[in-house]
Each structure stands twice: as C-alpha cells, then as structure tokens.
Structure 1
Amino acid sequence: MSQHRQDRVVPERDQGPHPVPFTTPRKHHSVLRGIRKHLGGLQQRDIDEYLLELDRERVESPYFDGSWSSSDEDITSDVSDDEYLPPMSVGEPQPESELEFSGFSDYEGESEEEEEAPIVAGRDKTESDGESEGDGPVGRVGVRSRAARASARPRRRSQRRGSLGEGSSSEGDEGWLEDPTPPNMHPFTATPGLTVPVPLTALGFIQLFLTRELLEYLVAETADYARYCREELQTTLSYRWQGCNLMDMAHFLGLHIFFGITPAVDVRQYWRRNFFLSTPNVPDIMPRDSFLALNRYFNAFNRRAIPRNNPDRLILVRPVLDYIRERSQFLVVPSQNLSLNEGMMPYKGRLSIKVYNPKKPKKYGVKIFFITESNTGYVVDFSVYSGVFSTLRDTVFGLVDRFRNQGYHLFMDNYYNSVSLAQELYEAGVHVSGTIRLVRGAPNVLKRFASQPQHLDRGETEWRRKGDVFIICWKGVRLVPMITTSYEPIQEEVVQRKKTRRQGRVTYEEFRVQRPTVIGHYNRHLGGVDLFDQLIQYYPFARRTRRWTQKLLKYLLQLALQNAYILYCGYNSDTQRLSHFQFLEVAGNALINFNPEEWPSNTAPLPRAPDLPLEDRADVARRANLGRPAPADAAHAAATLDDAAPADAAVAAVPVPAVALPHIPMSRRAVDRRRAAHLQ
C-alpha cells in the first residue's frame, strides 16, 4: 500500500512552490464507523492499526512538507464524531486501558444526545481543556474515559426539576382547591319529544323533512339555472333539455336513493342493455339523457342574485341548508345529554373551504360541526365550516345558544374544551364534560402530572376545582385529564379486560380498577356524532362529482332522511319496525310513484332570491374580467336554442358555405366505445 502511494505521479498543475500535502480521505473513517456500528466485523485494535498505517503513509509521502493541512484542523473542530471518525495522530497507539475512542464507545446505556463535545487526544483525562502534553501534532479527537463521560452525562428530567412537590410555584394555582363538594346543578326544564303530531306511517316521517315546498323550490331553481346557462353562458349539452316539473324532480331524487342502495361504478350503467348488467326498471322511470341533463342543472340558488364581493361562500346552497337546519331544530326538543363534534363530507375537488384532517376516515372534504343527541345520533343543529376565521368559542356558542338556561349537558373532546369556555357555558346554564388539554387553563400542579405521569399509580386520581369547574386527572394505561361542571371526583369500580396472546392462544385477564364517574359518562355520551356518521355511510347517494354544490346538496338530503329514520325508530308505534334499508326503500318508492295528493303543503314556500341589476351581479363582473360579453350583448343567442324558433326566417334561410374539415382518425378507445354502444 505504501509503495503504491509513493509511485503515484501528481499532474503538473497540482505541483507548485508549495506542494499540496496528502490528506487522509474522510471516507475511510465513515466506512470504518459503519462497519464497527452495524457489522461488528472489526475490533478496536484492528481499526487503530489501520488508521496508524494511513498516517504513517502520509508522513512518508514525498509531498508532505512537515506541516498538517488546515483540513485536519477542520476535522477536529467542525466534524462531529457522529459523522466521521477523525484522523489519528502520528505515533504509537495509546493503550485501551487509559484511553477510549468516543466514536466506538462500548457503553450501550449512553445516547448520542448525552455525549459532550469530544476532547483532544494526547491530553490526560484529568487535565483541563487549556492544558496539553506532547510535542506532536494534535489530530485525534474524542478520547474520554468512561468515568468522565458518565459524570458529564446530563441528569434525568426529574433530577433537574426536582420531585413533584419540590420547587412548586403557586403562580397559576390561585383559586384552585381540593374541595370534593359536588357542583351546583342547573335544573333540566325542557320537555324532550316531538313538537308536531306523531306521524302514523314511515312516509309521514319522511315528509317532515322532505316536504313538497322543498321539492317545488328545487324545481324552480333548477329550471331557472338551465335558462341561465343556455341564454347567458351559452353552454350546450349533448343531452336535450326538456324542462323540469315536480314529477321529474321526484323521480330524480327517488332514483338517487335507489342508486345509493345498489351502487354502480358509473351512473350510466343503470341504463345499459346488457342482459347481466342492466337494471330493467330504471329506463322506464326516466330516460338516461333526461336524468343526466337534470343532474347537470340541479341547483338551489338564483345565479343572477349573487352580489359582487359576496362574503358568503355557501350562498349557492344556503336556502336548502337553512331549511333543513330549521326543520331539524323545530321538530324535536332533544334529551338532556348532547354531544358536539365535527364530521366530514368527503370531497377532493378544488374548493376553497376544503380541509384536511388526518384523523378522519375521509381525510379530505368539507368540515361540518354537529350537535346531536347522545343516545340516538339525531342531528339537532349543524354548521358548515366556510373557511371564515372564527374562534372555537363562537363555534360552540353558535350551536348551543338555543339551549341556554335549560340545564342541558354537553359532551365535547379536548379540541373544544378549556377552563374559560366551561365557565362561560356554566354561566349560560349549560353543563359541560369532556377531555381537556392541560395547557388551556389547568393549574400548574396538574400540568406537572402530564410531564411526569410516573408520579401517579394506575387507578390513582388527582383533581382541583375552581368554583364549579373540576379538572380531574386519572391514571389508567396513560394519563386522562377531564374537565366537568356536573360531576364530582368520586370513584367507581369497573372491570377491565386485558388481552394476552401466548403461543397462538388468546386469553383475557379481568381486573378491577377505580376511576372517576365522569369518564364512564363521557364514554357513553360522546359518540352521538360518530353514530350519525356511521349510519349515513351505509347507503350514500351523493356520487363523485366536480360540482361541490351538488355534492353538498345531496349530502344535506341524506342528513334529512337520516334524521327522519331516527325519529321513526324513536316514536313509531308499529310492532315490527322497518330497517334502515326498508325505510329508504319506502322513501324511494314514494318519490318514484309520486302522487301530489299524498304530499300536501304543510309549510310556507321557500323564498326565492330576486334578480339583481347587471352592475351589481358577481357573474357579470367575473365575465368582464375574463373579457367575455355581458348578458345584454348575448341576447341574440336565444335564437339558437333547441326549444326556441328562429328570430328571422330570412336570415335562417341563408345558405352556409360548406367548409372542408380535416379528417381526424379515431383512437382505438373511441372505436371500441362506438362498437360497444352499437351492440347495446
């Protein structure tokens, strides 16, 4: 190896008045460190001999001028022992009994974070950093004794901060006491139940939400939007628009309900003529082109009534959203226990109000805040997140404002709860219980349990109270902090099961633990929103689309049908209750076999927004920014509509010169598609 290094010829451009000294490649140190760490193929003595040989070759090189390069100093100062093994100094290796290499420590209980900065070799392990011995160049790093490194190791967190009781400051603990007296409870004064006469049939419960007034409003807005698109936007479809009436809208919604029960990959497959894949009765109910045209123009708000600088991002669905929300609030007086949580309407298209929540099964979509009955999952109220900044306090009070001073009990998780919010809700006559993040107003003595949970044994509880607000920390498998204004910190004995698997056999071990009563009530009453999400996902008919307004409208109709089914299960007097599948089947049959006499008008009609002047409309301003003509300049486009006669017969009779179009070959996929359509 040495002979090979001495015979190497250096190019002329590299030689000068001061030849470039040969430096030990750093890659050797990283390779050796990797072998030592992962493979364990080399012993410490072998590595020392190899590094010593590299340094000896360096000194014997004809290009070595007796001085060490600045790169060696950089290695000792800038490169840590975690990246490279620094070069060894010239001379015999020192005995392992006196020196230890920091890069190859055999002490397994020491982490990399606990290592101090390496000290320079050649110094005695008892000397300070300012002293050195030996006249040779210092090029070796990281030699420390095991005792010195153990003494320099940082102390544990408990040793640095002291025990839980030592050094505890009373700052932030003012007003927090250890008084277990139960809080003062607000009496529950509401009378739960329906506010209307109980319907006698399943169709009666459906008509509580899906009213004739709602169907007539959707018919009017859909027909108006079709005129708007064809007259002002000048859009055309391959499907001929034949108008829309109440019967068409009922058939359209009824087919959607059945499509949710029997899903298909594409909605067009329901009209296929294949013997094995066809759905016989669907073409008899509504032609395919009529269904697709109605689905294209399905709308819930007048596009000519959207003002400039519109602050409401949900204005296109606002009338239907408010109508279903008001019906849900008006029809039922909920029971005492309520749960508040957020849900997700799945949507992956381009939308400014779309959110991402990695903890939800559907991670992308429109977030909706729900407040439901804890035991049934009935949606009492909801609020769609529109991207407008609002605090958690405003969100919670916007949903529970109608329950003030009635003694309701609200269950929330730690995303919403805080000490200040619990105090405000208690003053408003609403009790609250749920988990809490201790950084949101908890006393310091309880915050320390979050950082040092080992001070609590399993089944042990610590609590503090401030007025009628309790914060209870219970140690189960992990620390569980709770906040409540309705439960005192009394214990209850529960039986838990521990699952163990040994040699392929599963055994269960039962043991008894003590836990606060608020935890059991929280586990029973928080799942109202989760129950609603579970039921609404069984038969969803909101199909995948780029139009978020249609997706949200159909989701709201699903919500209405789900609330109707929950009321049917709770207040129906039939001995044999219909299942969820059978209830939706009744709804679909009633819409497909629509009889106006069976759908009386029970509520006031939904008001329609009037048209705005051209200078105040948002669509006119948007088209002006894009350089497109205003609706007044495109009035002549009405003559080209399918359902309109030519405005001037003479103009229509003028022959149009034929234009030779270039031949465009069809792709293989287009040919297969045309053949399949011909076979059908």
Structure 2
Amino acid sequence: MAAISVNTFYSHSRQKKEQGKLSLSKAEQLLMAIANDSEVEDLSNGEENDPAVDGDIPRDAGDNYSPPSSPEYDSDEDYSPPDAEEADHYITEDESESEQQRSQVHQRKRNRVENDEQDEELGCGDSRAEPRNVARGERWKSAPFTPDLFQFQGKDDYLRDERMDWQPLDHVEQYIDSELLKLLTDCTNAMSLANSGRSLNTSVEEMYYFFGVAILMSCVHYPQTKMFWSNALRVPAISDKMSRDRFFKLRSHLKVVIDDDIPEDKKKTDKFWKVRPFMDRILKGCRLQARPECVSIDEQMIPFTGACPFRQYVPLKPNPVGMKNFVLASTDGIVLDFEVYQGAKTLALQVQESEGLGLGALVIKRLSETLQPGTKVYCDRFFTTMSAVEHMLRKQVYLTGTVMKNRVSKAMEKLPSDQMLKQQGRGSSATVTRADGKVCVVKWFDNKPVVMLSVVHAEQPEDTCQRWCKKNKRYLTVRRPNIVREYNTKMGGVDLSDRMMSYYRMSVRTKKWTIRMLMHFLDLALVNSWLLYRRDNQEQGTPRKAIMKFLEFRMVAAQVFLNKCDILEEDAHLANVEKENAHLTQPGKRSRITPVPHVSVRTCSASHLPEMSERNCFAAFHTAQ
C-alpha cells in the first residue's frame, strides 16, 4: 500500500477540529482515498456551507437561487428542494458513481436515525414502527387536487324521537343502568366473602347511593374526602345515610367480575379483564349513538400514578402518566368508540389484515369498524401514515391530518424548503398531488412549517385568519389553506370531552387502578349524557337559559341516584309485603261495616249502652201490657 502524506493527513485533521464536525461526504472521500491507495487531498475549502450536512441554500446563491429539476420528471412544474441537490463542487471529478450511491445510502440512514429519535420524543418509542417501504415508488407532482368521494349516507338516529321527553337520568341510563349495578353488587359481595370470609351485604340501593355520593363529591371540591363527614363541613345529603367508613370500605372493595370465573387464557390476553364488563357497558352506550359524517381520533389519558404494569407516559399532556385510551368522537365531543391501549400486539389481534401496519394504522382501522362509507376522519400526526390512508380508501373512509415529514419523504422532495417558505412570509403554502390524484400533501408556513395530508381537502379555497405577532405586538391577517381550516374545525371533539371531564373529575386517591378506571368511565358517561342532552335541546329550539349547565346536570344526576335509593327500598318493602300476603285469599264484596269501638270503651261500666232520653220507653212498654 502506498504511503499517505502524513503532513497532509494531520493538517487535514487539525483543520477539521478547528472548523467543526466532519461532514459525511468528506469523511467518505477520505476513507475511499485510503482504500484506493491514493493521495488525500485537502478538502477543507467550503466546509461551512455543505448542503449535504446542513440542508441550507448555498450562500452564493442569493435571491436568484432556483433548485434544479428532478431527473425523474420532465414537467416544468416539478420541484426539487435544496437539500436534494448534489454537492458537485465538493466532489472531485475522479469519484465514481458507486461512491455517490453509497453517500446517498448513508444519508438516508442518518435521516432514519433522526426520525426515530423524534418519534421517541413524541412518546412513540414503544409502538410498532411504520414500514419504511410504504411510500417507496410513489410519484408526486404539482397539480390541482380534485378528490372523487363517495357520498355519505348516514343511518337515521332512531332514538331522537324518544329522547324528546327524556329526563337527565334517562340519558345517563344509556350507559349505567340497574343491571350493571346489580352485577357490581353481586361481584362485590362474592369477592368480599371469598377473600375475608364475610360478605359486605351491600345492595343495589346502596350501590346507587354510593355512586350518587361520588358524583356529588366531584361537584363540591374538598381537600380531603373525609371532610364531607366532619362536624363543621358535613354535607347532610352525603353523611346522613352512609357513614365515612362504609363509603371507603365500599370503594376499596368494588368488583366487576368474580376472579375465579375468568379463564386463564383470557387473563393473559386481556390486561383489563378486571373492569372489562363495566367498560363494555359504557362502550355499548357509546355505540348506540348515530355516526356523523365527520369524526376525529385522538389519545385520551386516564390519570393514574400508582403501580400498574400497563401504565403509559405521554409527554405534553395535562396528565402525562396513566392508561392510554384511543377515542373516536364527533365534532361536538360525543364519544362514539374507544379502545384502551394494552400493546400493539394485542391490538393487532383485534384487527383483520393487520400485517405490516403500524400502531397508528391499527388504531384507525379498529375505531373505524362502525363508520359508514363516506365518513371523513381527522387525526394528528401520530396516526397519519400512507398505509392508514390506503386501508381507509378501500373502505371509502377518508383521512385528513398532520403528518411527519419522514412518512411522505417523496412528497417533501417536491415541496419548497422551510427557508423558502419563511422568506415568502407567514401564510405561504404549497401543494403536491400523488400521481393517481387520490392524495395530496400541503405545506403551510405559520410560526413554523406545518405539513398536512388529506384525501378530501387541499390548499384551495383559501381564507384568512388572525395570528398574533410577537414582534409587532398585534394581530396579523394571514392566509390559511382550506385543509387547515377544516382540520381545526373538525379535530377538537376528543379535546372537548377531555376538557369537560377535567372540570369535575371524580378525585379518587387510591392505589388500585381498577377503581380509577371505573371512576373515569363514569365521568365519560356523564359527559356524553350532558353533551347529548344539550344537543337535543338545541335542536328542539329550547332557550339557552333553560338548558342545564354541566355542573347542574351532574348535581341533578347525583340527586336522582341518592333519591333512587329510597324509592328502591320502598319498592322492595312493598314487594316483600305482597309476597308474604300472597297465600291469603282475597275477600269478596261486603257491605259497609261500622268500626268497633276501642276496647277501653267496650268494657268500661255502662258506657257502651245506648243513651236514654227523657222518654222512658222501657216503662211505657211494660205498663202497656
């Protein structure tokens, strides 16, 4: 092997230390020179502005810089961004074509590592990775987007007419009824007897009272639960019929299943088997609601910081620690379906044709089982992938949402760079369409670049919106694409439900995740009931002041649960009396009977004899004879 110039090698190393990190292309040139027995050239010139590393526009380009067209397309409308440009002036003429290909491979690997690190920061590290070859071979072009959509034909809401005369309790009983509380009562008594040898002897009436107390406590916030029974702050509606110790005992012993009745294989496959009947009953009530044309899918956290094997951590959430729940909701916040996350493998078993799908696509496919053709689904970038779009198109369900750049890398090559959009100012945007005309990607610059994917909406027609400018300390009028407006309007359903639940959440300081799950889904049922009650009254033209607020609705529901205990006890007493007298024959029709005087009157001297008037009938009768 020929000797390499030592001075050249070490001088090159010193210059790299002074200038910063060695670029990938220069390092490959250096290694290839060593491998090919050639002299190493001084490659330090122009190192600071290597577009292969920084992805920036060269300094000498100025305002007249125009990116070269992509070699794959002959159309003048096609666009290639600066980061795809070949850095020819940094590469010597005697380099081979194979070296350029290897450089591109290394560049793609480095992008994958950066994207994986970004996914981990978003809390996606434990999910199934989206296949990398999904978007390969796709061709994108700058052309108008004209979607061909199936007309939505939703089913009629057959409960709308019945709900016209419903009371608040009728809305709540769509989710929580007497059969569910009977199941809770039986399982609680059975498990208490099996574990401690003594039954709690609770009843359906007491279970109604317990949940009424829990709902009322969420409306009146005390720092500690036991303060509801204190002498100074006691609430009679809570403390009169249930003692403090009885409340805590019932809460800690609540059971929805009998453990011995659950098969071992189900315990292994279903991590939430301890609360599954309760969740299924709430899910049944959610699926009774009519499916609208526009729905949204998002994450929901069930806050819990205790010990739990399937607890998740999702940063940037109001409650980042707890169980993760994927929710399908309407635009007005009504939950239509949900799936509590217990692993991507478990979720894949519930979805047909799940091979090769990532977690986001699995969630969308699972929650869209009850959707009608023509439905428009909105989601964030955690769920939006090309594989999810393709699977939904087969069902004629149309997806719209923000998307990560690495998931539409081919489309990003055709869109302007972030620097060019920033130079054009806030509100600038660009659109590319897939070659088959079914999908479009829009890049919009507001405070920072936003990339969105849709099979329904595109850039046009644009409108304007108000955005705050920190520099000028005033609102600015900014152009906004149609896809951004539709996304902002239709995406807030799950967030609305979360916000309503956070106002009066049932605060349960417990180490048992099962109790936390029961209280969370009871809150979800109350929020759904109130949103449905408000929507029905608005459709009927009820004045706004006559519609109960959410706090008032919860208090009415709590009062009905508390009073239902008395009604059920009275009904049970009458039923027992009728059962005891069932063997007695029913008397026939009789004449009116004069009531018998009290025993003290009947046996007291002559008070029971008839009163005598001035006429002596006795003497007259005997004298006449």
Query: Which band: TM-score by shorter chain?
Result: 0.5 to 0.7
TM-score of the two chains, using structure 2 as the length reference: 0.66
Deviations 1:495-516 (A, max 9, x none): 42434478xxxx42433x4332
Name the residue aligned to 2:191: 225
Asked if 1:536 corresponds to 2:497, the answer is no
Aligned to 1:472: 442
Name the counterpart of 2:203: 245
Secondary structure at the counterpart of residue 175 of structure 2: coil
Are 1:430 and 2:325 matched, yes or no? no
Shift of 1:477: 2.9
2:253 counterpart letter in structure 1 = Y
Normalization by structure 1: what TM-score? 0.61
Aligned length: 456
Give the letter for the 2:516 counterpart: K
Change in 2 beyond 3 A, CA 1:251/1:447: farther
Q: How far apart in 1 are the matches of 2:182 and 2:498?
A: 29
State the Cα deviation string for residues 570-607 of structure 1 (Å, max 9, x = none): 113554011111100111101111158689xxxxxxxx
Equivalent position to 2:152, from 181, 184, 188: 188
Cα distance change, pair 302–451 in 1 and its aligned pair in 2 (3 A):
same
Which residue of the partner structure matches residue 35 of structure 2?
A: none
Amino acid at match of 1:461: A
Secondary structure of the corresponding residue to residue 352 of structure 1: coil
Change (3 A) 1:260 1:404: same
Query: What is the aligned counterpart of 1:565 among 499, 520, 530?
Result: 530
CA shift for structure 1 position 210: 1.9
For residue 178 of structure 1, what is the amino acid of its counterpart?
A: S
- 2:46 and 2:565 map into 1 onto residues whose CA distance is 89
1:470-510, CA deviations, whole angstroms, 9 ceiling, x for partnerless residues? 112223332221111112431313042434478xxxx4243
Residue 50 of structure 2 aligns to which amino acid in structure 1? Answer: R
Measure, in 2, the Cα distance between the counterparts of 1:174 and 1:306: 49
Matches for 1:344-359 after TM superposition, within 5 Å:
344-359=301-316
- Measure, in 2, the Cα distance between the counterparts of 1:536 and 1:302: 30
Q: Which residue of 1 aligns with 2:410?
A: 443
Pick from 167, 179, 184 the counterpart of residue 143 of structure 2.
Answer: 179
Q: Give the letter for the 1:202 counterpart.
A: P
2:294 aligned with 1:367: no
Aligned amino acid, residue 377 of structure 1: G
**Equivalent of 2:50 in 155, 160, 174:** 155
Structure 2 counterpart SS, 1:368: strand
Point out the more displaced range, 292-301 or 436-445.
436-445
The verdict on how the C-alpha distance between 1:260 and 1:491 changes in structure 2, with shifts beyond 3 A counting, is same
2:165 corresponds to 1:212: no
User: What does residue 22 of structure 1 align with?
Assistant: none
Equivalent residue, structure 2, for 1:287: 243
Query: 2:72, 2:418 → 1: CA distance?
Result: 18
Correspondence 1:546 to 2:511: yes
- Could you tell me how far 1:392 is from its partner in structure 2? 2.4
Given candidates 349, 355, 379, the residue that maps to 2:335 is 379
**Distance change >3 Å, CA 543–CA 80, structure 1 → 2:** farther
Q: Structure 1 residues 183, 281: CA separation in 2 closer, same or farther (over 3 Å shift)?
A: closer
Conservation of the 8 A alpha-carbon contact between 1:456 and 1:475: no
Quote the Cα distance in structure 2 between the aligned partners of 1:181 and 1:81.
51
Equivalent position to 2:482, from 512, 517, 539: 517
Aligned match for 1:462, one of 428, 431, 447: 431
Give the deviation of 1:323 after TM superposition. 1.1
- 1:260 aligns to what? 218
Q: In the TM superposition, what is the alpha-carbon distance from 1:180 to its structure 2 partner?
A: 1.3
- 3-state SS of paired residue (1:403): coil
* Structure 2 unmatched ranges of 5 or more: 1-9, 28-38, 74-135, 349-358, 570-625
Does structure 1 conserve the Cα–Cα contact (< 8 Å) formed by 2:291 and 2:371? no
SS of residue paired to 1:301 = coil
Structure 2 residue identity aligned to 1:579: K
Match of 2:376 in 1: 409
**Residues 80 and 177 of structure 1: CA distance in aligned 2, closer, same or farther (over 3 Å):** closer
Change (3 A) 1:200 1:311: closer
Residue from 377, 387, 400 that aligns with 1:420: 387
The 1-side partners of 2:553 and 2:422 are apart by 54
For 2:536 and 2:139, locate their aligned partners in 1 and report how far apart those are by CA, in whole Å.
47
CA deviation after TM superposition for structure 1 residue 241, in Å: 6.1
Corresponding residue number in structure 2 for 1:338:
295
Q: CA distance change for structure 1 residues 244 and 218 in 2, over 3 Å: closer, same or farther?
A: same
Shift in Å, 1:534: 0.2
For 1:165, the aligned partner's letter is P
CA-to-partner distance for each residue in 1:447-488, whole Å, 9 max, x for gaps?
Answer: 664565558723232322343111122233322211111124
Q: What is the root-mean-square deviation of aligned Cα atoms in Å?
A: 3.5
Shift in CA distance, 447/477, structure 1 to aligned 2, threshold 3 Å: farther
Higher helix share: 2
Distance 1:453-1:347 versus aligned 2 partners, 3 A rule = farther
Is the contact made by 2:16 and 2:44 (CA closer than 8 Å) also made in structure 1? no
Counterparts of 1:311 and 1:335, CA distance in 2: 33
1:322-365 Cα offsets, whole Å, 9 max, x none, are 111011101x1132110100010111111111000112111100
Q: Which moved more, 1:386-395 or 1:553-562?
A: 386-395
Tell me how far apart the structure 2 counterparts of residues 314 and 217 of structure 1 sit (CA, whole Å). 17
C-alpha spacing 1:159/1:280, structure 2 compared with 1 (3 Å): closer
